[in-house]
Chain A
Amino acid sequence: MSDTSDKTVNGEIHQRPLSPHIQIYRWTLTMFLSILHRATGVALYAGTLLLVWWLMAAATGPEAFALFQGVAGSWIGRLVLFGYTWALFHHMFGGIKHFIWDTGAGFELSVVEWISRGATVIPILLTLISWVLAYKFMGAF
């Protein structure tokens, strides 16, 4: 909470103790993924503007679509889209991980660790595979 101080009857500021926050704990993969799940969610939220732009450009006409393609096809555009692809896959597998835990299964520590490792590595692999295939469809090789 933002308001951690209040006044005693004498009018003195009384500092209430704060609960331990993230900087006090040893980092674990699970907490890192928890934070990343939220971060990718927020990034995907903002990134829907790109989806809107793409759809509206396609609906508007060839010139508007060419402008979108020019920006999306630039190196910075591709970097953003690459990041967006990863964020989507990462958030998806974070969600699947939560579905497993929602059922009450997979809470043994070793299982938690393996689910977390899978939810880290699989999205990276799927992102790379998607982009290799995309370049293949573009005729890059």
Chain B
Amino acid sequence: MSEMRTPLSRVRGLGSAKKGTEHFWLQRVTALANIPLAVFFVSAMVAHAGADYVTVTAFLSRPIVALVMLLLILSMVWHMRLGLQVVIEDYIHGHMAKLLALILNTFFALAVGTSSVLAILKLTLA
């Protein structure tokens, strides 16, 4: 007998990959968070255009600025990993090449995330 469950119930039951709509949902949640965080970032960059080393490091070391920058980095890195994952899955069809690209995508996102977090923490905790 064929499958009687609807596609929606399969997804609610987490589906074949046991992830349900997690990817779709996290993409949207991080996208939503990115809007105010990116607006803050662009505003801060505009306000500090041409600013010298002392001014920029003093700005980044303020706890509230460091906090928002950390949130920006986490949300952005998560969002971009999910996004490029879809691009890889769409365009790379060889099994090993796809697997390798997906792993490199995770490595890149982690490298960008950890180095940015390290830099922000050093500036604000110094």
Interface of A is mostly: helix
Q: Whose C-beta in chain B lies nearest to the C-beta of A56?
A: B119
Chain A, range 106-141, C-beta contacts under 8 Å to B: 130, 133-135, 137-139
A13 to B122, CA, bound (A): 62
Interface centre among B28, B49, B93, B122 (most CB of A within 10 A): B49
Cβ-defined contact, A88 with B56, below 8 A: no
**In the assembled complex, how far is the CB of residue A54 from the closest CB belonging to chain B, in whole angstroms?**
9
In the complex, whether A22 has a CB less than 8 A from a CB of chain B is: no
Cβ-defined contact, B77 with A48, below 8 A: yes
The residues of A that contact B38 with a CB separation of less than 8 Å are 88, 92
Interface size class of chain B, counting residues whose CB lies under 8 Å from the partner chain: 35 or more
Cβ-defined contact, A137 with B46, below 8 A: yes
In the complex, whether A100 has a CB less than 8 A from a CB of chain B is: no
Taking A58-B57, A58-B60 as contacts, is the C-beta distance between A49 and B112 under 8 angstroms?
A: yes
The residues of B that contact A49 with a CB separation of less than 8 Å are 112
In the complex, whether A62 has a CB less than 8 A from a CB of chain B is: yes
The residues of B that contact A55 with a CB separation of less than 8 Å are 60, 69, 115-116, 119-120, 123
In the complex, whether A24 has a CB less than 8 A from a CB of chain B is: no
As a 0/1 sequence over residues 34 to 75 of chain A, the CB contacts with chain B under 8 angstroms (1 = contact) are: 000010011011001101100110110010011000000100
9 examples of A-B residue contacts, CB within 8 angstroms: A3-B93, A38-B87, A41-B80, A41-B87, A48-B76, A49-B112, A52-B119, A59-B123, A130-B42
